[in-house]
């Protein structure tokens, strides 16, 4: 953006109107940016669309209770959310229809992946990472689209794409900060008016849709306002890159010392000290990638001129390969010990992505020599485009990490590499999706009696806690999400274990009333339009809790859904009309 303005200033006629010279025409080079100019109406449009989107998403998901909603509702919510974010970041007066079509296409991709994942309440970690992969695909494609929109053609020149990446990142962070401020301000005003008895705003906040509307409107409006102040955003870009450039020598020194220490310490301490070896290494490599790009900038003019900083960027680019190699060894070692799971396969994908950057940077430095910053910027664009396509492919229901993991785990069991007693039956039942349950059906017909028994037990389990009989009750977490009344009351571990065993809070958030030290009442709903289920628990003399009664409450529309008011247990004496010994109608007041 600053490129075209600078070109215009350089080419502007320097004489006065009477100087006799005609202003010369300025030819824009490929590296020049596009000055989109202010668009005052954009902030208002994005704010209004954001408010409407927030309200629709809240209604579709019942305030975020995704687990209890249908596939279509959550898919539409994903479409609206992703489309709204893409439109907010990509909308310009220039070819605004392109931005709208790209936002719709990105939203459709996320919505389709959400729908293909199945019922939200049955999502496992694999489905969650697949949804994240779809978001990553459209986010990586956004700056590529923005550069193509600016030129009205497919354009892979690094300068424009990298400038859009930094701008989108800064706008997104700034908009999120503005959302937080807007929400805090709304809550403060509600509390202020409540002091004088005007609690209408507090009531609207408790309903949830108001905060959703404010958050989405603030996000879109903030981006629209900042887009009209491109000079501020460009200054922020330069300041942030300058700050990160200063940090590059510090991280480079630390990572170089770490890599140089590995031949003396060996790799064994990495596996013994923590189980988070791979995540720590991946975060280190990602930090190195960010700092390297802060040093090289978006074009030749933005490269840091300090030799120490440039040398640290080269060091950070070079240490990525050994660090990525150690992360790959760590992941492979984990898979070799415990077999494949969806989480480990996704970890392998992340390792492959950072290794692609590390190897690409090594090639850029070796091949580019003195022009290595330019080569590195081109590598960034190529890898980003490749990752966008790859993550979209992995998000689609073409490759099932659950099916791959189920086949591997079953093979380990049948080949005797793991004993049935040590086999993770809960993971096969609840973490691998339909492929895991199908594998259990097959194992339930195994020639081995113990495998048949364990497989049948896993298929009959309503939740994973039922397959962990030896786990101490104190280690079983309270069901989530669950609201406890009175606020701050401790849920006895034995009561949590009983609720988990009965599977009463598996489908939707619920409310638990600790009526007395020996009695508790649980309210929950199984679907969006269902009446609340009521369960009564009593504490025995031995400290255990048992389910005394459970059943659905009345189905009047007034109590459909989970109650939000005060919960209490009362002893009620009522008169009823009986015909042939059977009650009819309601109680007589």
pLDDT digits (tens, 9 = 90+) for 196-206: 888 888 888 88
Q: Is the pLDDT reported for residue 144 higher than 90?
A: yes
- Position 67 confidence tier, pLDDT thresholds 50, 70, 90: low
**DSSP character at residue 369:** G
Q: Which long-range contacts (CB under 8 A, 24 or more apart) does 536-541 make?
A: 537/495, 537/498, 537/499, 539/492, 539/494, 539/495
pLDDT digits 0-9 by tens, 417-447: 888 888 888 888 888 888 888 998 988 888 8
HEC-encoded secondary structure of 178-190? HHHHHHHHHHHHH
Query: Average pLDDT for residues 37-43, to the nearest whole number?
Result: 84
Q: Is the pLDDT reported for residue 31 higher than 60?
A: no
| 487: number of Cβ within 10 Å | 6
Q: How far apart are CA 329 and CA 348, in angstroms?
A: 10
pLDDT recorded at residue 178: 94
Farthest CA pair distance, the chain: 112
| 475: number of Cβ within 10 Å | 9
Query: Average pLDDT for residues 537-559, to the nearest whole number?
Result: 65
Query: Average pLDDT for residues 156-160, to the nearest whole number?
Result: 84
| 238: number of Cβ within 10 Å | 13
Q: Is the pLDDT reported for residue 345 higher than 60?
A: yes
pLDDT recorded at residue 579: 61
pLDDT recorded at residue 527: 60
pLDDT recorded at residue 586: 60
- Position 450 confidence tier, pLDDT thresholds 50, 70, 90: confident
pTM value is 0.69
Cis amide prior to 481 (ω within 30 degrees):
yes
pLDDT digits 0-9 by tens, 301-329: 888 888 889 899 999 999 999 999 999 99
**584 three-state secondary structure:** strand
Q: How many percent of the chain have pLDDT more than 90?
A: 34
54, 60, 64, 69 alpha-carbon torsion, rounded to 10°:
-170
SS3 content of the chain, % helix, strand, coil (to 5): 65, 5, 25
**DSSP character at residue 589:** -
Q: Is the pLDDT reported for residue 281 higher than 70?
A: yes
Residue 275 exposure: Cα atoms within 13 Å on the Cβ side: 4
pLDDT recorded at residue 44: 93
HEC-encoded secondary structure of 237-248? HHHHHHHHHHHH
HEC-encoded secondary structure of 467-485? HCCCCCHHHCCCCCCEEEE
pLDDT digits 0-9 by tens, 174-186: 999 999 999 999 9
How many secondary structure helices (H) and strands (E) does the chain include?
A: 19, 7
More confident residue, 20 or 35: 35
pLDDT digits 0-9 by tens, 80-133: 999 999 999 999 888 899 999 999 999 999 999 989 887 776 777 778 888 999
Q: How far apart are CA 238 and CA 282, in angstroms?
A: 26
* CA dist 411 → 224, 332, 404, 406, 415 (Å): 55, 18, 11, 8, 6
Q: How far apart are CA 353 and CA 358, in angstroms?
A: 9
Nearest residue to 285 (alpha-carbon basis) of 330, 225, 238, 218: 330
Do residues 385 and 351 make contact, with C-beta atoms less than 8 angstroms apart? Answer: no
């Amino acid at each position: 953006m600053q490129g075209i303005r600078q070109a215009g200033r350089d080419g502007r006629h320097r004489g006065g109107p009477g100087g006799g010279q005609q202003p010369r025409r300025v030819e824009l080079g490929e590296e020049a940016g596009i000055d989109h100019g202010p668009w005052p109406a954009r902030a208002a449009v994005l704010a209004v669309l954001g408010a409407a989107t927030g309200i629709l998403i809240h209604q579709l998901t019942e305030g975020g209770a995704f687990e209890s909603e249908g596939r279509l509702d959550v898919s539409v919510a994903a479409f609206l959310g992703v489309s709204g974010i893409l439109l907010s970041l990509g909308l310009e007066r220039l070819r605004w229809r392109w931005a709208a079509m790209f936002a719709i296409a990105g939203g459709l991709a996320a919505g389709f992946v959400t729908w293909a994942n199945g019922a939200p309440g049955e999502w496992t970690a694999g489905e969650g990472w697949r949804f994240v992969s779809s978001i990553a695909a459209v986010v990586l494609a956004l700056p590529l689209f923005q550069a193509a929109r600016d030129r009205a053609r497919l354009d892979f020149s690094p300068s424009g794409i990298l400038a859009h990446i930094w701008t989108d990142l800064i706008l997104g962070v700034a908009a999120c900060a503005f959302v937080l401020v807007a929400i805090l301000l709304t809550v403060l005003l509600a509390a202020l008016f409540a002091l004088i008895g005007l609690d209408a705003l507090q009531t609207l906040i408790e309903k949830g849709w108001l905060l959703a509307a404010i958050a989405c409107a603030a996000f879109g409006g903030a981006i629209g306002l900042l887009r009209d102040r491109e000079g501020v955003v460009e200054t922020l870009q330069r300041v942030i890159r300058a700050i990160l450039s200063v940090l590059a020598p510090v991280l480079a020194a630390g990572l170089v010392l770490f890599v140089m220490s590995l031949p003396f310490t060996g790799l064994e301490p990495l596996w013994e000290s923590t189980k988070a070896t791979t995540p720590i290494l991946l975060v280190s490599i990602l930090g190195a990638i960010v700092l390297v790009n802060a040093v090289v900038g978006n074009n030749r003019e933005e490269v840091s001129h300090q030799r120490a900083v440039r040398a640290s960027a080269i060091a950070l680019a070079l240490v990525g390969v050994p660090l990525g190699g150690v992360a790959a060894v760590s992941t492979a070692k984990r898979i070799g010990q415990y077999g494949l799971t969806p989480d480990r396969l996704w970890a392998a994908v992340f390792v492959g992505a950072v290794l692609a950057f590390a190897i690409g940077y090594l090639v850029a430095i070796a091949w580019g020599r003195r022009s290595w910053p330019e080569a590195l910027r081109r590598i960034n664009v190529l890898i980003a485009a490749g990752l966008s396509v790859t993550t979209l492919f992995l998000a689609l229901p073409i490759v099932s990490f659950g099916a791959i993991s189920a086949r591997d785990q079953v093979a380990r069991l049948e080949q005797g590499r793991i004993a049935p007693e040590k086999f993770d039956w809960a993971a096969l039942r609840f973490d691998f999706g339909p492929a895991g349950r199908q594998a259990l059906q097959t194992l339930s017909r195994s020639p081995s009696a113990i495998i048949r028994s364990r497989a049948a037990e896993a298929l009959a389990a309503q939740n994973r806690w039922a397959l962990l009989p030896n786990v101490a009750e104190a280690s079983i977490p309270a069901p989530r999400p669950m609201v406890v009344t009175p606020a701050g009351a401790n849920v006895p571990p034995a009561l949590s274990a009983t609720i988990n065993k009965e599977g009463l809070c598996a489908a939707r958030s619920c409310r638990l009333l600790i009526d007395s030290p020996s009695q508790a009442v649980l309210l929950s709903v199984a679907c969006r339009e269902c009446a609340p289920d009521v369960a009564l628990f009593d504490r025995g003399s031995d400290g255990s809790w048992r389910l005394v009664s459970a059943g659905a409450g009345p189905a009047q529309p007034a109590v459909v859904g989970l109650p939000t008011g005060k919960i209490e247990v009362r002893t009620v004496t009522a008169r009823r009309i009986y015909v042939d010994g059977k009650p009819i109608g309601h109680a007589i007041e």
